[in-house]
């Protein structure tokens, strides 16, 4: 069943030998980042780290810091309570194939999928563990004298008391790096949860780095047009399925809370915020409640980013806190991004694998696809296809460039189905051997990822596709295509046997 708390997930990592507890004092200004970077660069993503005594400019923090909790294939699967990410992909494939069952077995499994989906719908409660401790900074939305003492410990936790990292030396400050940002479209009421980093400006104010292509920014635009203050709730921790869902490139309109409920096979229980009209999962570790004021922006950055480079200073909206609520035993979750490989690779990789069935629905010829770590998500895509007709590789590239966040893909390399896209060396071999650059490449114009510093102007650029498949008649290749070397099965079996001795 689903994790009841982020702590339960961390304990599970511990039992599985996937966690290193650090009990000495470690500073949140750069030092935790340096430690985590070494861990993320070690074989198979190293271990998750729990810093039990982080300090904030030398002051001890009340809350421990967890980092790299999803930074390997195994831990990513554990975060979603799966043996393998591919199990979830298979479930999705089953749902997509929903057609009249042809036999009883299929019938049962379709029914099971249906029930799961039903169980995915969120439920509503009055209060949750995330509100065990409440610190109010503004007015209450609904004053209620029966409510518990807003600051039972009397001290009033603000951002200054959270062990928020400064990640890289030239960062503009401390950044919240794993925030699940909840917003609502003012007209349709549809909900979105996205992960957009937040630079801490002072104890009650941060930046809100939703890039122009993201749903949070689109919701924001609607409020700005209406001239209305936009309520925003930021959750940290809880079931790691929430954090993953916030990063997943879900099609617009597919609610992350519903999707998280589907992943964890348990409805998310939502509770109302204390100071704003939004709901959040009741079991998260921290909730930062607040608002974004239309028209207000502030310089954000620099920030040592996913790309491995510092992103320059840019104006972004400002988030004002009206409350912080938290669990009594809250753990502060975070990550760092930078020169790959980093923890975020495994999150992106899980998304690609989970949604492969969706891509396959669009492209029946698609066999496999990966975004290798060197490409930091959008810079490089390897796709294998079962090619049947001329220029099919180009059709697949153009299709991908038209699909949601795949529009940012800078280089797409298409190979034949017998090439393992997860083996970068094999893909490069095919790319070099099978292409005539002029004939087998194409360059297009498309929106670029906001973080890409290479294009002449931000957010627009050119993308390139390579057809590294074997050429068919009709693809302007006028010689017989040669055969790839392959040993006989028999000779392989003999050597297997002889070498075992
Ligand atoms: C660790 C991490 C940090 C991220 N930071 C940002 C960010 O600061 N701004 C942004 O627009 N996207 C950021 N993203 C990517 C978005 O979370 C991702 O595109 C997501 O699908 C957006 O959801 P949406 O389509 O609901 O807007 C980050 C992703 C990860 C894994
Ligand atoms: Mn979304």
pLDDT tens column, 52-107: 999 999 999 999 999 999 999 999 999 999 999 999 999 888 877 765 555 556 65
Q: Are 17 and 254 in contact (CB under 8 A)?
A: no
| Ligand nearest, relative to CA of residue 176 | 1
- CA 175 to ligand 1 center in whole angstroms: 14
Report the nearest atom of ligand 1 relative to the CA of 195: 17
Beta strands in 81-219 (DSSP E): 123-124, 133-136, 175-176, 180-184, 191-195, 198-202, 205-207
Measuring CA to CA, which residue among 329, 286, 288 is closest to residue 62?
329
Residue 417's pLDDT band, with cuts at 50, 70 and 90, is very high
pLDDT at 100: 52
Question: How many residues in the chain?
Answer: 501
Place of tokens 């096979």: 265
> Considering only CA atoms, which residue is closest to atom 18 of ligand 1?
247
Measure the CA–CA gap between 174 and 320, rounded to whole angstroms. Answer: 16
Residue 42: pLDDT above 80? yes
Please report the pLDDT score of residue 147 as a whole number: 43
In tens, the pLDDT along 468-492 reads 999 999 999 999 999 999 999 999 9
* Banded pLDDT at 149 (limits 50, 70, 90): very low
Mean pLDDT, residues 23-28: 98
Per-residue pLDDT averaged across 5-19, rounded?
A: 98
Q: What's the CA gap between 387 and 396, in Å, rounded?
A: 10
Q: How confident is the model at residue 148 (pLDDT cuts 50, 70, 90)?
A: very low
For the segment 261-292, what is each residue's pLDDT rounded down to a tens digit?
A: 999 999 999 999 999 999 999 999 999 999 99
- What are the phi and psi torsion angles at 391 (to 5°)? 70, 15
| Helix, strand, coil in percent for the chain, rounding step 5 | 30, 25, 40
Query: From ligand 1's centre to the CA of 258, what distance in Å?
Result: 18
pLDDT in tens, 326-340: 999 999 999 999 999
CA of 164 relative to ligand 2 center, distance in Å: 25
For 253: left if phi > 0, alpha if psi spans -120 to 50, otherwise beta; the answer is left
Q: Examine the pLDDT at 144 and tell me if it is beyond 90.
A: no
Give CA–CA dist 231/102, Å, rounded: 49
Closest CA to 193 of 202, 206, 204, 184: 184
pLDDT average, residue stretch 382-394? 98
Cα torsion at 245, 137, 315, 304 (round to 10°)? -60
Q: Which of 214, 240, 300, 336 to mutate to test the pocket of ligand 1 (most atoms within 8 A of CB)?
A: 214
Which of 51-60, 136-145, 365-374 is the least confident region? 136-145
Q: What's this model's pTM, rounded to 2 decimal places? A: 0.92
What's residue 140's pLDDT?
A: 44
What integer is the mean pLDDT of 368-375? 96
355 has a pLDDT exceeding 70:
yes
Give pLDDT, residue 135: 95
Q: Which ligand 1 atom sits nearest the alpha carbon of residue 450?
A: 11
Q: How far is the CA of 226 from the centre of ligand 2 (A)?
A: 22
Per-residue pLDDT tens digits for 99-134 = 555 555 665 566 566 666 777 889 999 999 999 999
Work out which ligand 1 atom sits closest to the CA atom of 249.
21
**What mean pLDDT, rounded, does the chain reach?**
93
Percentage of the chain surpassing pLDDT 90? Answer: 85
What 384-388 contacts at long range (C-beta under 8 Å, 24+ apart), as own/partner pairs, is 384/414, 384/415, 384/416, 384/417, 384/419, 384/420, 384/421, 385/414, 385/415, 385/416, 385/417, 385/469, 386/416, 386/417, 387/416, 387/469, 387/470, 387/472
* Active-site residue set: 305
Do residues 70 and 339 lie in contact, with contact meaning Cβ atoms separated by under 8 Å? no
The strands making up 123-124's β-sheet, listed across from edge to edge, are 123-124, 269-272, 279-281
**Higher-confidence position of 153 and 360:** 360
Would you give the DSSP letter of residue 256? H
Which of 207, 247, 336, 341 has most ligand 1 atoms within 8 Å of CB, for mutation?
247
Q: Does pLDDT of 398 surpass 60?
A: yes
Whether 141 contacts 231, CB under 8 Å: no
Q: Which of 32-46, 117-131, 211-225, 331-345 has the lowest mean pLDDT?
A: 117-131
Question: What's residue 362's pLDDT?
Answer: 81
Residues near ligand 1 (Cβ within 6 A): 177, 192, 194-197, 209-211, 214-216, 247-249, 335, 337, 344, 347, 405
Residue 153 has pLDDT above 60, yes or no: no
Give the pLDDT score at 154.
Answer: 41
Tokens of 331: 């753990």
Residue nearest atom 13 in ligand 1 by C-alpha distance: 196
Q: Whose CA is nearest to atom 7 of ligand 1?
A: 196
Secondary element (H or E) of residue 366:
strand 366-370
């Amino acid at each position: 069943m689903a994790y009841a708390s982020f702590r339960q997930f961390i304990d599970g990592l511990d039992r599985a030998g996937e966690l290193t507890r650090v009990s000495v004092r470690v500073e949140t200004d750069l030092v935790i980042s340096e430690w985590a970077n070494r861990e993320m660069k070690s074989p198979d993503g190293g271990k998750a780290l729990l810093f039990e005594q982080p300090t904030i400019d030398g002051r001890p923090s009340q809350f421990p810091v967890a980092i790299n909790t999803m930074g390997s294939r195994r831990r990513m699967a554990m975060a979603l309570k799966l043996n393998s990410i591919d199990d979830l992909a298979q479930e999705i494939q089953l749902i997509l194939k929903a057609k009249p069952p042809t036999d009883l077995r299929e019938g049962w499994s379709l029914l099971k999928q249906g029930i799961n989906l039903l169980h995915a719908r969120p439920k509503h409660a009055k209060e949750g563990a995330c509100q065990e401790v409440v610190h109010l900074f503004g007015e209450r939305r609904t004053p209620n004298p029966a409510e518990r003492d807003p600051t039972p410990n009397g001290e009033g936790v603000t951002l200054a008391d959270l062990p928020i990292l400064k990640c890289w030396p030239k960062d503009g400050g401390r950044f919240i790096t794993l925030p699940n940002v909840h917003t609502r479209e003012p007209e349709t009421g549809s909900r979105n949860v996205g992960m957009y980093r937040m630079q801490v400006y002072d104890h009650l104010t941060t930046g809100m780095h939703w890039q122009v292509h993201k749903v949070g920014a689109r919701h924001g635009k609607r409020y700005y047009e209406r001239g209305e203050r936009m309520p925003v709730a930021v959750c940290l921790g809880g079931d790691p399925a929430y954090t993953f869902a916030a990063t997943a490139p879900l099609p617009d309109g597919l609610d992350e809370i519903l999707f998280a409920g589907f992943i964890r096979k348990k409805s998310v229980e939502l509770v109302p915020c204390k100071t704003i009209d939004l709901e959040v999962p009741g079991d998260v570790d921290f909730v930062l409640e607040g608002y974004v004021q239309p028209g207000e922006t502030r310089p954000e950055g620099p920030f040592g980013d996913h790309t491995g480079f510092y992103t320059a200073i840019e104006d972004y909206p400002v988030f004002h806190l009206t409350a912080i609520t938290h669990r009594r035993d809250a753990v502060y979750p975070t990550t760092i991004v930078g020169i790959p490989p980093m923890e975020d690779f495994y999150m992106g990789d899980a998304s690609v694998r989970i949604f492969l069935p969706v891509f396959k629905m669009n492209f029946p010829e698609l066999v496999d696809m990966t975004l290798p770590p060197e490409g930091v998500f959008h810079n490089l895509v390897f796709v294998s296809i079962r090619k049947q007709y001329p220029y099919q590789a180009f059709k697949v590239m153009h299709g991908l460039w038209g699909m949601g966040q795949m529009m940012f893909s800078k280089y797409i390399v298409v190979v034949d189905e017998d090439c393992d896209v997860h083996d970068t060396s094999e893909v490069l071999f095919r790319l070099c051997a099978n292409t005539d650059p002029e004939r087998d490449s194409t360059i297009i114009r498309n929106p670029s990822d906001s973080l890409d510093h290479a294009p002449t102007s931000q957010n627009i650029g050119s993308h390139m596709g390579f057809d590294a498949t074997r050429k068919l008649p009709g693809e302007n290749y006028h010689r017989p295509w040669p055969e790839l070397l392959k040993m006989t099965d028999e000779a392989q079996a003999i050597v297997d046997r002889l070498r075992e001795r």
